Chain A
Amino acid sequence: MSGPGGGSGGGAAIRTDALTKRFGAHTAVAGLDLEVPRGAVFGFLGPNGSGKTTTIRMLLGLVSPSAGRAEVLGEPIPDALRRVLPRVGALVEGPAFYPFLSGRANLERLDTADPLAPPRTRAARVAAALERVGLSHAARKRVHAYSLGMKQRLGLAAAILLPRELLVLDEPTNGLDPQGTREVRALIRSLADDGTTVFVSSHLLAEVEQICSHAAVLRAGRLVAQAELGALREGARFRFEVRTPDAAEAAEVLRRFGVEPEPAGPGIVAGVAAHALDGGGADRPAHDGVPPPEAVVAALVAAGVRVRGFSAGAGSLEERFVELTGEGFDVAG
């Protein structure tokens, strides 16, 4: 590492080296090697119990690793926590507040806990954070009377009381309605545009796909994939799917186009084009090697195949991840 420690310049925002956490005989996180570049919006994905929260707790110094090392904003954790944490905003395993205090009083309390937060600007910063998450109208209400989504928003407000270099958000859209989910996504995007690195965990790639520049997938405590999403999208293969009772004939036609058919269920013939897309758009094959869908349909019909359904496309990023890892997301850890 050669970049300067401070500022939002070079170096990784988060770097872990064989980070491991064991609870008794159970290994919750096993030898995790993460690298989150500065300025990235990093999706940290995995099914329930895969170790996302445990990793986040280790990064924030709440839990000490059983083995391995972690660095946050260029400084070793947990040794430099006192210097690192004021530059980090976090939401860990759901929001938590004093139910008998108002939303505003809760934020003021958390801000007071940070010895580096200037008390003079406290009231203004709290008001601005509440405004930014759309909670101004409920600022004086006791948290006791907040809905789950409102608490989630308040948790986000707490994370952005000060300008942060890194935001660590553990399932920030949990409990939000579709509108709230969209708003949180927009909020994350606008924070990222300010130069903040965002590390966001989720069960679903689809939920964060639109905002993430990078993603990693965790399964049973192990990292099974880590990639830049742009590269993933580029690497995506064009896929054809034909619904027909004439499976053999359809497969024969696909083969003629250089698409190797694979069994995809009764009455369905599917196959992936030999060439990858160049990232120019998933809807339209831009490569010479990828046959135009309309030509494939015409050939199928000409061959007497009874086409009952046809689709062509690059598939979702999630399918791409599955392709890469060989397993779905919903596999229990």
Chain B
Amino acid sequence: MSRAEAGAEPRPAGPATLRLLGSELGILFRRWRTWAMFGALAAVPVLIGLAVRFSGRPPSGRGPAFLNQVTENGLFVGVVALVVCTPLFLPLTVSVVSGDTIAGEASLGTLRYLLVAPAGRVRLLAVKYASTALFCVAAPLAVVLGGTATGLVLFPLGQATLLSGAVIGPGEAFGRLLLMAGYSAVSLLGLAAIGLFASTLTGVPVGAMAATAVLAVVSQILGALDQLEWLHPWLFTHHWLGLADFLREPVAWDSLGQNALLQAGYAAFFAALAYGRFTTKDILA
């Protein structure tokens, strides 16, 4: 029985895969849960802005970084919020989305029907990671946009003084803010791959989400221990607070470069693990 006779070979799946990604994003962004997370992320700068505006006390040097700048330039609300969300809140939302990728489909039972469709295991995994990566872009944007809106309403939009002492206008400041959101997105890509892998290990999405979130916290704790200094450059959370480099003049791009390289390494490693696991796994859910 020759294979040539056995029906047409599947056509190149490029556009079809993009459509599947579109369907995936449609589901992700139609879910109430996703918008609840965006809402919560956008609420952080609102809370910060309101607290600073109505507490009546000028911010001291303590508290989150850059807080004292807020009253001079409203755009700093977004900066502060991004810094506040980086250690826990942002990774938490990415853990939820990435941990849900495969395990969520398994728990619904839709995984078997997607695979029988056939979505293809590798193709499905790629689409799931791509949609999670897009969420990694959207989540910091929610913080930044919430911060910008709050800043515009509650504070003047003056000149911004950078860490290096240089002063930039509001337009450039907003550009820097978007760059910081982009940096944040890149920072989360490694975690997204870890979540994807965790999601292939279980049929219980909450388990994969929790494991991913715990890893993000553990990595930051290890990063805070001076005794483990040799390990620090290898932790995926190591550059997370490198955000501040975008407030220097000129911008210190090497932090972004190192971070991107590290995240790419983590993403490749855990995507490979996820591939190894998912392509050989028995789908019993």
Contact of B117 among A97, A101, A114 (CB under 8 A): A114
**Contact among A81, A96, A98, A112 with B19 in the assembled complex (CB-CB below 8 Å):** A112
B113 part of interface (Cβ distance < 8 Å):
yes
**Please, how many angstroms separate the alpha-carbon atoms of A116 and B13 in the complex?**
8
Instruction: Mark interface residues in A41-85 (1 if CB within 8 Å of B CB, else 0).
Output: 000000000000000010011111000000000110000111101
Main secondary structure of the interface of A (DSSP, over half): loop
Residues of the A chain whose Cβ atoms lie less than 8 Å from the Cβ of B9: 83
Of the A-B pairs whose beta carbons lie under 8 Å apart in the complex, a sample of 10, sorted by A's number, is: A4-B5, A6-B7, A80-B3, A98-B110, A100-B32, A109-B27, A110-B113, A115-B10, A115-B16, A116-B10
Given contacts A62-B115, A85-B117, A100-B31, 9 further A-B contacts (CB under 8 A): A1-B1, A6-B7, A57-B284, A83-B10, A100-B32, A110-B114, A112-B23, A115-B16, A116-B11
Whether, in the assembled complex, A223 has its beta carbon less than 8 Å from a beta carbon of chain B, the answer is: no
CB pair B108–A96 under 8 Å, yes or no, is: yes
A158–B6 touching, CB < 8 Å: no
- The answer on a CB contact under 8 Å between B117 and A113 is yes
Interface residue tally on A, bucketed by range: 35 or more
| B119, CB-defined interface residue at 8 Å | yes
Q: B36: CB under 8 A from chain A?
A: no
B232 within 8 A of A: no
| Interface of chain B residues 117 through 163 with chain A (CB within 8 A) | 117-120, 123-124
Is A85 in contact with B116, judged by CB distance below 8 angstroms?
A: yes
Listed in ascending order, the chain B residues whose CB lies under 8 Å from chain A are: 1-3, 5-7, 9-11, 13, 16-17, 19-20, 22-23, 27, 30-32, 108-110, 112-120, 123-124, 280, 282-284
Using CB atoms, name the residue of chain A closest to B110: A96
Chain B residues, CB < 8 A from A75: 1, 3, 6
Residue A195 lies at the interface, judged by CB distance under 8 Å to chain B: no
Is there a chain B Cβ closer than 8 Å to A87's Cβ?
Answer: yes
Contact of B6 among A80, A97, A99, A112 (CB under 8 A): A80
| Interchain CB contact under 8 A, A87 and B7 | yes
- Cβ contacts under 8 Å, B283 to chain A: 57, 62-63
Query: What is the CB-to-nearest-CB distance from B19 to chain A, in angstroms, rounded to a whole number?
Result: 5
Given A5-B1, A82-B10, A115-B123: A62 touches B114 (CB 8 Å cut-off): no
CA–CA, A98 and B11, complex, Å:
28
- B6–A83 CB distance below 8 A: yes
Residues on B with C-beta less than 8 A from A74 are: 1, 6
- A112-B2 in contact (CB<8A): no
A92 to B: closest C-beta gap in Å: 5
By a CB distance below 8 angstroms, the chain B residues around A63 are 282-284
Complex Cα spacing A87 to B10, Å? 12
Chain B proximity of A307: nearest CB distance (Å): 56
Q: How far is the CA of A83 from the CA of B118 in the complex (A)?
A: 9
Q: Which residues of A contact B110 (CB under 8 A)?
A: 96-98
Q: For the complex, give the distance between the alpha carbons of A114 and B118 in Å.
A: 5
| A contact residues around B10 at 8 Å (CB) | 82-83, 86, 115-116
Residues from 82 to 140 in A contacting B, C-beta threshold 8 Å: 82-83, 85-88, 90, 92-101, 108-116, 119
A109 to B6, CA, bound (A): 27
B6 touches A88 (CB 8 A): no
The answer on a CB contact under 8 Å between A113 and B30 is no
- Which single residue of chain B is at the shortest CB-CB distance from A82? B10
Which A residues are within 8 Å of any B CB, using their own CB?
1, 3-6, 11, 57, 60-64, 74-75, 80-83, 85-88, 90, 92-101, 108-116, 119, 158
Once the chains bind, are B7 and A5 in contact (CB under 8 Å)?
A: yes
Give Cα distance in the complex from A11 to B123, angstroms: 31
CB of A224 to closest CB in B, whole Å: 25
Chain B residue nearest to A161 (CB atoms) is B117
Nearest chain A CB to B26 CB, angstrom units: 8
Most chain A CB inside 10 Å of its own CB: which residue of B109, B113, B115: B113
B282 in contact with A62 (CB, 8 Å): yes
* A62 and B5 contact, CB distance less than 8 A: no
Which residue of chain B is the closest to A90 with respect to CB atoms?
B116
6 residue pairs, one from A and one from B, having the closest CB atoms? A96-B109, A5-B6, A115-B16, A85-B118, A113-B117, A113-B119
B residues in contact with A4, CB < 8 Å: 1, 5
Contact B32 A5 (CB under 8 A): no
Distance, CA A101 to CA B27, complexed state (A): 8
A113 B118 Cβ-Cβ under 8 A: yes
User: How near does chain B come to A3, taking the closest CB pair, in angstroms?
Assistant: 8
Contacts of B113 in A (CB 8 A): 90, 92, 96, 110, 158
Residues in A neighbouring B3, C-beta threshold 8 A: 5, 75, 80
Q: Give chain B nearest CB distance to A172 CB in angstroms.
A: 14
Cα distance A158–B118 in the bound complex, in angstroms: 12
For B13, the chain A residues whose CB sits under 8 A away are 115
Residues of B close to A98: CB separation below 8 A: 27, 108, 110
| In contact, A96 and B117 (Cβ under 8 angstroms) | no
With A96-B112, A116-B11 known as contacts, the answer to whether A6 contacts B120 (CB < 8 A) is no
A99 to B32, CA, bound (A): 12
Residues of A within 8 A of B116 (CB): 60-62, 85, 88, 90, 92
Instruction: Kindly name the residue among A3, A93, A110 whose own CB sees the greatest number of chain B CB atoms within 10 A.
Output: A110
